[in-house]
C-alpha cells in the first residue's frame, strides 16, 4: 500500500514538511456552479435581489476564503498568495463559478482555489435563498494546476 504523506508511522494525521522544497510560481484553477431558477438568474443579472448584489459579495467571499484556507482545512499550509480571481458566468438556470489562485511558495494552491469556489457558491445560495428554494451547488472540482520556476 502506498505511504500517505499526511500520516505518521502510527497512522496519526500530520502536516507535511515542505521546508526543503523550492519556492516556485504556482497557479490553480477550480470551478463549480449553482443551479437556480431562470427568474433568480434574472434577479442576479439585474442586481435586484432583496439582499443586494450577490455576485459582488460572492467574489469577495471567495477571495476571503482562499486567504483563510488553512483555518478551514486542518493540514493545509498557509501559502504566500499573490492573487485570487473569482469570476462568474450566468447561464439560463445556473451561475458558473471559476476561481484562480496564484502564489510563490513551496506547496500548491489548489485548496485555495477550491475554497474560493465553494465560498462563492455558498454566498450565492445564501443571498438567493429568500427567492429560490430549489437551488443546488455542484460540480466543484480542480480544473488545472501549474508550477514553474521563478
pLDDT, tens digit, 9 for 90 and up, residues 87-123: 999 999 999 999 999 999 999 899 999 999 999 999 9
The C-alpha cell that represents 121 in the structure block: 457558491
* pLDDT tens profile 57-86: 999 999 999 999 999 998 899 999 999 999
Q: Which CATH number fits domain 26-145: 3.30.70.640, 2.30.110.10, 3.30.70.100, 2.40.40.20?
A: 3.30.70.640
The C-alpha cell that represents 23 in the structure block: 519556492
Q: Which of 8, 87, 126, 132 is catalytic?
A: 126
Conformational region of residue 11, where left means phi above 0, alpha means psi within -120 to 50, and beta covers everything else: left
**105, 26 contact by CB (below 8 A):** yes
Residues ≥6 apart with Cβ < 8 Å to 114: 28, 30, 99, 140, 141, 142
Q: Say whether pTM exceeds 0.85.
A: yes
Asked about 53 being catalytic, the answer comes back as no
Tally the residues of the chain: 150
In the structure, what pLDDT confidence band is assigned to residue 20 with cuts at 50, 70 and 90? confident
What pLDDT sits at residue 130? Answer: 96
What pLDDT sits at residue 3? Answer: 61
What pLDDT sits at residue 1? Answer: 43
- Please state the domain extents for the chain: 26-145
* pLDDT tens profile 7-17: 677 777 777 88
Sign of the Cα pseudo-torsion (15, 16, 22, 25, in order):
negative
Amino acid at each position: 500500500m502506498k505511504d500517505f504523506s499526511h500520516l505518521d508511522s502510527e497512522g496519526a494525521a500530520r502536516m507535511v514538511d515542505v521546508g526543503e522544497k523550492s519556492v516556485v510560481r504556482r497557479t490553480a484553477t477550480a470551478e463549480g456552479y449553482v443551479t437556480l431558477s431562470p427568474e433568480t438568474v434574472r434577479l442576479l443579472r439585474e442586481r435586484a435581489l432583496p439582499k443586494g448584489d450577490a455576485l459582488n459579495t460572492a467574489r469577495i467571499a471567495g477571495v476571503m476564503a482562499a486567504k483563510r484556507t488553512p483555518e478551514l482545512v486542518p493540514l493545509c499550509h498557509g501559502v504566500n498568495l499573490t492573487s485570487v480571481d473569482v469570476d462568474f458566468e450566468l447561464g439560463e438556470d445556473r451561475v458558473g463559478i471559476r476561481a484562480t489562485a496564484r502564489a510563490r511558495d513551496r506547496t500548491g494552491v489548489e485548496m485555495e482555489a477550491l475554497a474560493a469556489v465553494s465560498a462563492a457558491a455558498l454566498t450565492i445560495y445564501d443571498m438567493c435563498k429568500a427567492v429560490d428554494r430549489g437551488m443546488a451547488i455542484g460540480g466543484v472540482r480542480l480544473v488545472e494546476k501549474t508550477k514553474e520556476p521563478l
